[in-house]
A and B are shown apart, each in its own frame.
Chain A
């Protein structure tokens, strides 16, 4: 059972909800819960759990290198590449642009002369560690993208594979922001996607785009309104209008934000906000229903 926490817009509260939910689920079930930090460009879930992280593996992606002594300059590699990462000029030059390569092996497979060699590039590392605190146990896995690298999906897949290999029954995935490939990779195969929508026109706009993506992928989803100011009902009304499952609204709290920014005890701050427990309880119910 994997629950993915996603948002569209950045800074809506994905990590807060993910961390609080993982701890809540572990406490309620008495079981260890996997926390999969797929926000590989800026993983920060570990700050809220006392975890000693150790490197598990280095993740590489394939990029092509052309052996011009074998190349017939037929151009098939260039034709199949959707990202223009390889181009053939006339009958003497084959150029590659590794930073555009998505590592699909297309060029490698269509090459009939065996001129394409593998030139792996390190994109990042997977780390893991365990947290134990009284009645809660968390197995945390995170991907850390190499600085300067832009291609995170293969690293995200490696983090998710660690989750699949784990014997724990429940996993919480903290997703990256946005709605492009990294998010699609992170939510694909999830049993439930919790969309954390910031209660603002911008938050609604991006949550609506993400909802389209989630529906296209055929995933079960529900929506939480976060940082609700002055009992604003923007997200709730949108859910009612569209017929989406609404899990409740969490008010904006400077107290909670300050605790988060300090890397402090957000669990204690959350206890002062009954709306958070209501939301976590509803998510748990949805998990139990499935």
Chain B
């Protein structure tokens, strides 16, 4: 399973720090959950600079990347609706490093969301 996680420090690989914001995260790391390794770094500066609809832009990008799931701190309602329409699982409430988050997801401690985790614009 491939998951895209919003991060602040993309060059630190599995130790990278998670960005709590989904839509306006500057970077994402694509991680193979089974192999516990980073597959790809993805820049998200274009969505970060959007005046409106950053969540929609970022979520659409996730669809194009073909990920199975996304992980972040908070995912707003518009991003959530795009991700659910595309059948992408959303894991929110993540913090700390990517490797810790992957452990919690793989162990089943964190379950995918059934609703947006923020009202957006927080």
Q: Which residues of A contact B (CB under 8 A)?
A: 78, 83-85, 87-90, 93, 95, 97, 100
Contact = CB atoms under 8 A, between A and B. Distances in A.
A21 B59 CA distance: 51
B82 A87 contact: yes
Most buried by B among A85, A87, A93, A97: A87
Nearest to A93: B85
30 contacts: A83-B51, A83-B52, A84-B52, A84-B53, A84-B54, A84-B56, A84-B57, A85-B53, A87-B56, A87-B57, A87-B59, A87-B60, A87-B82, A88-B60, A89-B60, A89-B63, A89-B82, A89-B85, A89-B86, A90-B63, A90-B86, A93-B85, A93-B86, A95-B81, A95-B85, A97-B53, A97-B56, A97-B78, A100-B53, A100-B56
Q: What DSSP secondary structure best describes chain B's contact surface?
A: helix
A78 B86 contact: no
Interface in B27-86: 50-54, 56-57, 59-60, 63, 78, 81-82, 85-86
A90 B83 CA distance: 12
Nearest to B86: A89
Q: Which 7 A-B pairs have the closest CB atoms?
A: A84-B53, A84-B56, A89-B63, A87-B60, A89-B86, A83-B52, A93-B85
Nearest to A90: B63
Contacts of A85: 53
Contacts of A88: 60
Nearest to B47: A84
Contacts of B51: 83
A89 B63 CA distance: 7
Contact of A78 (B59, B60, B85): B60
Given A84-B60, A100-B56, 11 more contacts: A78-B60, A83-B51, A83-B53, A84-B52, A84-B56, A87-B82, A89-B60, A89-B63, A90-B63, A90-B86, A97-B56
A74 to B, nearest CB: 14
B75 to A, nearest CB: 15
B68 to A, nearest CB: 14
A85 B86 CA distance: 17
Contacts of B63: 89-90
Most chain A CB within 10 A, of B56, B60, B63, B81, is at B56
A102 to B, nearest CB: 9
Contacts of A93: 85-86
A100 B78 CA distance: 10
Nearest to B50: A84
Nearest to A88: B60
Contacts of A87: 56-57, 59-60, 82
Nearest to B77: A97
A100 B50 CA distance: 12
Contacts of B60: 78, 84, 87-89
A83 B118 CA distance: 20
A63 to B, nearest CB: 14
Contacts of A89: 60, 63, 82, 85-86
